[in-house]
């Protein structure tokens, strides 16, 4: 009986040690890949100094961040490579002293709001590619003759095959509203019952 306890304790100790080493290296323990992992400030928008919480394994990410001081309207969506779609928004109370570095005060909702079929996700990403998204500069401003007051910055990240791009669409930027409309058309028909990504 004593030998059994020793063996059991040793095996559990080695397993725990492996998990701790994996976490220390930034790796997820085996079997924990089912949920999108939020990264603090990954390389995508690191130069901006804004922590958007882009999931490390997202195929597509969109954050809408108010251009002024109205953080309760900030929202974000993340679609994983398997089509799992998560949504996040702020809630009261919000400490405005964290702005603009921390535009979100809540993580993504624990349950997905939709599951996009792979063929539809790939078609959406292909549309982004054909629209020139992967060749856009890191920041896209509105046309010079357009005066914009207020609105939202749309921070967009997409990955397709071996290509990826991270683009900040300023309020009034060309294509920004169309991109949001396309995302809504992709997600809305697939919303799980009770989901309200508003």
- Maximum CA extent, the chain: 82
CA-based radius of gyration for the chain: 20
CATH architecture of the domain formed by 37-190? 2-Layer Sandwich (3.30)
User: Alpha-carbon distance 87 to 43, whole Å?
Assistant: 21
Q: Which residues contact 152 (CB under 8 A, 6 or more apart)?
A: 64, 65, 66, 67, 73, 171
User: Alpha-carbon distance 120 to 122, whole Å?
Assistant: 5
User: Alpha-carbon distance 102 to 92, whole Å?
Assistant: 14
pTM: 0.78
Q: How many CB atoms lie within 10 A of CB 179?
A: 21
Collapse the DSSP code of 175 into the 3-class scheme (helix H, G, I; strand E, B; otherwise coil) and give the result.
Answer: coil
pLDDT of 39 strictly over 60:
no
Residues in the chain: 198
pLDDT of 130 strictly over 80:
yes
pLDDT, tens digit (0-9, with 9 covering 90-100), for 76-128: 999 999 999 999 999 998 888 888 899 999 999 999 999 999 999 999 999 99
Confidence of residue 42 (pLDDT cuts 50, 70, 90): low
User: Alpha-carbon distance 125 to 100, whole Å?
Assistant: 29
Contact status, residue 156 vs residue 134, Cβ threshold 8 Å: no
pLDDT, tens digit (0-9, with 9 covering 90-100), for 145-191: 888 888 899 999 999 999 999 999 999 999 999 999 999 999 999 99
3-state secondary structure 79-108: ECCCCEEEEEECCCCCCHHHCCCCCCCCCC
Q: Which residues contact 62 (CB under 8 A, 6 or more apart)?
A: 76, 77, 154, 155, 156, 179, 180, 183
pLDDT, tens digit (0-9, with 9 covering 90-100), for 18-34: 433 333 333 333 333 33
Mean pLDDT of 135-150: 90
User: Alpha-carbon distance 53 to 51, whole Å?
Assistant: 6
């Amino acid at each position: 009986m004593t030998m059994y306890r020793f063996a059991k304790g040793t095996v559990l100790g080695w397993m725990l040690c492996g998990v701790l080493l994996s976490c220390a290296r930034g790796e997820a323990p085996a079997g924990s890949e089912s949920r999108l992992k939020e990264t603090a400030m990954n390389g995508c928008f690191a130069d901006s100094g804004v922590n958007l919480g882009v999931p490390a394994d997202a195929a597509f990410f969109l954050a809408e961040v108010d251009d002024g001081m109205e953080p309760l309207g900030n929202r974000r969506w993340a679609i994983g490579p398997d089509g799992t779609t998560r949504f996040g928004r702020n809630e009261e109370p919000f400490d405005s002293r964290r702005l603009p570095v921390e535009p979100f005060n809540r993580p993504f909702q624990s349950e997905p709001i939709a599951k996009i079929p792979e063929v539809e996700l790939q078609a959406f990403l292909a549309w982004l590619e054909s629209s020139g998204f992967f060749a856009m500069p890191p920041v896209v401003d509105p046309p010079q003759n357009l005066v914009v007051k207020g609105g939202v910055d749309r921070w967009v990240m997409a990955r397709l095959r071996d290509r990826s791009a991270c683009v900040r669409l300023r309020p009034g930027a060309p294509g920004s509203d169309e991109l949001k409309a396309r995302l809504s058309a992709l997600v809305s028909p697939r919303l799980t019952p009770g989901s309200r990504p508003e």
